[in-house]
Amino acid sequence: MASHIVGYPRMGPKRELKFALESFWDGKSSAEDLQKVAADLRSSIWKQMSSAGIKYIPSNTFANYDQVLDTTAMLGAVPSRYNWSGGEIGFDTYFSMARGNATVPAMEMTKWFDTNYHFIVPELGPDTKFSYASHKAVNEYKEAKALGIDTFPVLVGPVTYLLLSKPAKGVEKSFSPLSLLGKILPVYKEVISELKAAGASWIQFDEPTLVKDLDAHQLQAFTQAYTELESTLSGLNVIIETYFADVPAEAFKTLTALKGVTGFGFDLVRGSKTLDLIKGGFPSGKYLFAGLVDGRNIWANDLAASLSTLQALEGIVGKDKLVVSTSCSLLHTAVDLINETKLDDEIKSWMAFAAQKVVEVNALAKALAGQKDEAFFSANAAAQASRKSSPRVTNEAVQKAAAALKGSDHRRATNVSARLDAQQKKLNLPILPTTTIGSFPQTMDLRRVRREYKAKKISEEAYVSAIKEEINKVVKLQEELDIDVLVHGEPERNDMVEYFGEQLSGFAFSANGWVQSYGSRCVKPPIIYGDVSRPKAMTVFWSSMAQSMTARPMKGMLTGPVTILNWSFVRNDQPRFETCYQIALAIKDEVEDLEKAGINVIQIDEAALREGLPLRKSEEAFYLDWAVHSFRITNCGVQDTTQIHTHMCYSNFNDIIHSIIDMDADVITIENSRSDEKLLSVFREGVKYGAGIGPGVYDIHSPRIPSTEEIADRINKMLAVLETNILWVNPDCGLKTRKYAEVKPALTAMVSAAKLLRKELASAK
């Protein structure tokens, strides 16, 4: 009965690791305290898998911050700015790399493939020195062994590590980290030898970059690496694990021909095409780790369907060579359904969090070995059937409305320059108009009011009056600062997705469904289980209240459909784009209600548009097409005089600029303050952009307060490549996380800079 788990969440069922890390970083607890919490979490995870009957239990998938950073530490690849002097890497150096310290900045963080998890990007150059500097993998293997559990040590594979790295500062941009392969393999050999000496009999290398579009030279690196490691690996069973998509045919050939490898792991949930490759030819005598339990969602597995897939695979690879596994690490799903006391029983019966997925993997392995737990399987079949037929899942009206979208492109009737003229006649804004992105600081008092209202400790009347007072304060402040287009500050909102999800049908919310985003930061994604619709207006009450407090234009504030989709756990019983179109229709209703209520400027944020981009070039166009179409659906029905804004993060920009132009918003504001040059280069290269654009003029992620001169200088740089009449002046993101003591002087400087340049432009005329 062979069962295997690729990896497991580290935070703990009640976010124990998060609180231990933050307490340690704040100097409230010692390194020993943190190590104890971490060791307790690891041992409970190993024991849980062991008692569930899992045969191949992973170790070293736990991390105090990130598994790629753990690999950087293992290789001693510490950038010189951290002044590491050699020896075993401790918390000081490790957390400085992750978070920066008083004197030097952190290493860059970026998304792990197409998940919402972020890893710390290695910074390498031709002179990087490598040495075995963190014995974590071996220590954790021994730690589990002392508990009587023999684990499967997991390492980020050498080729994936290098392909995810970037050239360090000061190194030629054209430098290829892959050229360092020969220099890192000696360290991998030391680690493998130590694991072997400690008694390990299996070892797992995660090489997920095999699912991406790789060229011949990159594929060759896999052959080179594992040929080079072959003699060190002899006597060990070696599995190479891939996940997040299907493996392209060329990569499959390279992978299955690798020397010294015992087995291969595939994601058969997101990589259904890999099944055809396996059926077309799998090397005889090798193990197949079949990833059939979804590590990226919260739905219960369809056990009957999985079992029949496994039985077909058994015919190809043989009974003793088939291992049941998860599609990827369970890091990307919530921890344990047992802690969900508020979810209703029907919806809960359709779900499985990480702890339940471990049980599913084991149940499938037992069934395959002829020891099927009939009761477990029939309960699962009943839940699958109830989910298919539940009236809560299907809403005929929504299905009809979404089907009716197919015929149209949903573009506004007039082109953007004509719309901007009509809007200007109505709004009468100065050149270089100023605005902010949406949120204002959320004080402790404000959070307390929301918390007490949610807990029914204060009346609705008291709550509305407290929020109204806060909006009034924010409106008055913006008028004093002389900002042109105002916002209400979003004091009533907890989170840009959750706030809307709570008011839409088809959404459910967990109490403890936390998932690690980076370091100690966790997110609690909403769960979309059914057809989405908007029972009643969501934001009109607050936006019209705010507009009534001022004669200046007040922006309505909404989160766009693609961002709501990409930041949620999405139903898996229909294509993602169908769910996205449903959300778009719900947001469209809201946009039109805001317009009717006299709101003339409406912002629809699409912060996560690029996050959904598929891992393969060949699939990008289809995604961008429906994502951009979804955005257009939300606002295709408004009048020319209604100005539609959107806000995005800079990484969204350059490579998908044509899709962004195709969104056809009237004004787009961009978080770009850390990468001005990158952003403006697009326009320098002659991309024609006729809509309004507001590249952030200062970085709100830092407490630093910029001067008027500094902001004026940035605006001037932008004016060198953008037309005066389309440029907006704004911070780069919402101000929710800042303090008023930082926000007031920064916005004062921003408005002064805009006025200074208006004067200069007028006198130049």
Residues that constitute the known binding site for Zn(2+) = 647, 649, 658, 662, 671, 733
C-alpha 676/C-alpha 670 separation (Å) is: 10
Q: What are 323's strand-pairing partners?
A: 289
How far apart CA 733 and CA 578 sit, in angstroms, is 30
Output the CA torsion sign for 507, 510, 511, 516: negative
First to last CA, the chain: 81
Nearest to 192 by CA among 134, 226, 236: 236
In Å, how far are 218, 224, 227, 409 from 179, measured between CA atoms? 10, 12, 16, 47
Distance CA 694, CA 732 (A): 8
Q: Give the Å distances, CA to CA, from 298 to 289, 350, 354, 666.
A: 21, 9, 8, 38
Known binding residues for 5-methyltetrahydropteroyltri-L-glutamate are 18, 116, 521-522, 567
Q: Are 6 and 268 in contact (CB under 8 A)?
A: no
Rounded distance between C-alpha atoms, residue 559 and residue 496, angstroms: 6
What does the block give as tokens for 655?
């490579």
Mapped onto helix, strand or coil, the DSSP state of residue 573 is: coil
Is 701 catalytic? The answer is yes
- Residue 54's Cβ-count burial label (10 Å; 0-12, 13-18, 19+) is buried
Task: Find the DSSP H helices in 281-373.
Answer: 303-317, 345-349, 354-368
Using alpha carbons, select from 6, 5, 7, 29 the residue that is nearest to residue 17. 29
Contact indicator for 190, 132 with CB cutoff of 8 Å:
yes
- Among the listed residues 488, 629, 645, 701, the single catalytic one is 701
* Cβ-contact 11, 17 below 8 angstroms: yes
**Residue 708 structure tokens:** 């008027």
Residues in the annotated binding site for L-methionine: 437-439, 490, 605
**Distance, CA of 668 to CA of 666 (rounded, Å):** 7
How many Å apart are CA 403 and CA 271, to the nearest integer?
A: 27
Pairing of strands 263-267, 237-241: parallel
DSSP state of 552: S
Q: What is the 3-state secondary structure (H, E, C) of 33-60?
A: HHHHHHHHHHHHHHHHHHHCCCCEEEEC
Helix (H) or strand (E) holding 110: strand 109-111
88 in Cβ contact with 138 (< 8 Å):
no
- Please choose, from the candidates 352, 338, 310, the residue with its C-alpha nearest in 3D space to the C-alpha of residue 3: 310
The per-residue DSSP string of 189-236 comes to HHHHHHHHHTT--EEEEE-GGGGS---HHHHHHHHHHHHHHHHHHTTS
The SS3 assignment for 425 reads helix
Nearest to 431 by CA among 725, 644, 715, 730: 725
d(CA 669, CA 712): 17
Hey, which residues are catalytic here? Answer: 701
